[in-house]
Structure 1
Amino acid sequence: MPSEITPAGLRERKKEETRRLLLEGAARLFGERGFEGTTVADVAAYANVSVRTFFRYFESKEALLLPDGVEIFAYVENALSERPADEAPLDAVCNALLAAAEPFSASTLTALSHPLEDIENVVTTRLVQAFSDFEERLTVLVQRRLPPDTPDADLKAAVIACAALSAVRAVLRTRRARRASGIADTGTAPLVRAFGILHEIGTLEQGA
């Protein structure tokens, strides 16, 4: 006997589908027309909803450039849970952040095919705020990966989580400065390098 879906469940599915279509439409239209050449009405029309409905899901056109902090953290949390249990905590966090950053980097770079300084300010601000908001939550996840007898486990977990997220923030600021100078800097390669620098610092400290 097929399971019945309640009206509340149908409404939630409809909301999720509308949000997905709005994001899908934004990605496609930004890529075809550029951010500046796409209006809220264009995105709403793609999802077959009204402009008024659009603003029930997103506060502005700029908000379409990145998902909210909850969604970003969900990507990180899922990626971290898939890392090998015996992987070093810093490696696990860095690899999880890299895996989570890829879809967001791709969609943002598509939208910014014609980079504009004010848009990049919005993107950088939203990402930095999102990462800052879940430093404590990431710290908890890191601590769960540490052996139970780890000395100062709470402190070690906090340092690992905050160091990794600080590297992400450093990449965002550096990328923005490089673009302003006309230097090409795309994809997740700068993030890979930033995490490499973290490991280099750790190696230097160990050798001191």
Structure 2
Amino acid sequence: MPTDEPAPAPGLRERKKDRTRQQLRACAAQLFAEQGFADTTVAEIAACANVSTRTFFRYFDSKEDLLLPDGIELFSAVEQALAQRPLEEPPLDAVYNALLAAAALFRSTSLTALTHPLDGTEQLIAARLIQVFAEFEERLTRLVLDRLPPETPDADLHAAVVAGAALGTVRAILRTQRGRRAAGTHRPAVLLPQAFEILRQIGHTAP
């Protein structure tokens, strides 16, 4: 029977979870700046965000994860953008355009940790970043494989090479950004088109 009551707002739970995640990140950034990374505890971050330590670990595996781009948001955005690319588009171009569409997330303040490491944690961050990229590389490989025509020779290898080349290029961008240490001048999103153009040139270089 029709009712005049408004329907519940769609995605309310998701929005609440997103607010909690962002609040934890904001508190961590504030505490890291005030106290330093090493002297800041998970309990302090949770208290600042008015949540329990148990709740903190529902969102992040460790405080080190707060130094990295939000993998859940970033990779989800890439996956969604890739799903919208035309199936006839060459796989590498499709992945590039998906990364470009999600490039706004590369501007996250959490990327500051990649260009200006805190308290000598650069090696730790780099190790965690390698793990995050490795996990996503497997997911991206499966997504590329799903886009390939069934008759593609060595389709699994083809997909793995495309995913590896694309994410290797992104890693190169982040290393370059960190090496230049020019905050705001060479954002990853700005370097992305240049880096993929270099990748394409390498692919067309005669032996």
Same fold? TM cut 0.5: yes
- When residues 188 and 68 of structure 1 are mapped into structure 2, their CA distance, relative to the original with a 3 A threshold, is closer
Write the mapping of 1:1-208 to structure 2, written as runs, cut at 5 A: 17-26=19-28, 29=30, 33=33, 36=36, 39=40, 43-50=45-52, 53-55=55-57, 57-66=59-68, 69-109=71-111, 115-116=117-118, 118-179=120-181, 185-205=186-206
Distance 1:124-1:72 versus aligned 2 partners, 3 A rule: farther
Shift of 1:159: 1.2
Deviations along 1:44-91, one digit per CA (max 9) or x if unpaired, are: 355222456535543443321235655543222112112233322111
SS in 1 for 2:87: coil
Consecutive unaligned residues in structure 1, runs of 5 or more: 5-9
Change over 3 Å in CA distance of 1:192–1:116 after alignment to 2: farther
Structure 2 gap segments, 5+ residues each: none
Contact persistence 2:36–2:119 (CA under 8 A): no
Letter in 1 for 2:205: L
Distance 1:158 1:82 in 2: 20
Q: Is the 8 A contact 1:35 1:114 kept in 2?
A: no
* TM-score normalised per structure 1: 0.70
Report the CA distance between 1:197 and its aligned residue.
0.9
What is the DSSP-based 3-state SS (H/G/I as helix, E as strand, rest coil) of the residue aligned with 1:49?
coil
For 1:87, the aligned partner's letter is: E
CA contact (8 A) 1:171 1:194 kept: yes
Structure 2: distance between partners of 1:144 and 1:136? 13
Q: 1:44, 1:51 within 8 Å by CA — same for their partners in 2? A: yes
User: 1:143, 1:153 within 8 Å by CA — same for their partners in 2?
Assistant: yes
Matching residue's letter, 1:203? H
Identity of paired residues, percent? 56
How much does 1:129 deviate?
A: 1.6
Supply the RMSD in Å over aligned alpha carbons.
4.0
Give the TM-score taking structure 2 as reference length.
0.70
Compared with structure 1, are the counterparts of its residues 22 and 84 closer, same or farther at alpha carbon in structure 2 (3 Å cutoff)? Answer: same
DSSP 3-state at the match of 1:134: helix
SS at match of 2:120: helix
- The count of residues paired between Structure 1 and Structure 2 equals 199
Task: Give, as a single letter, the amino acid of the residue that structure 1 aligns with 2:158.
Answer: K
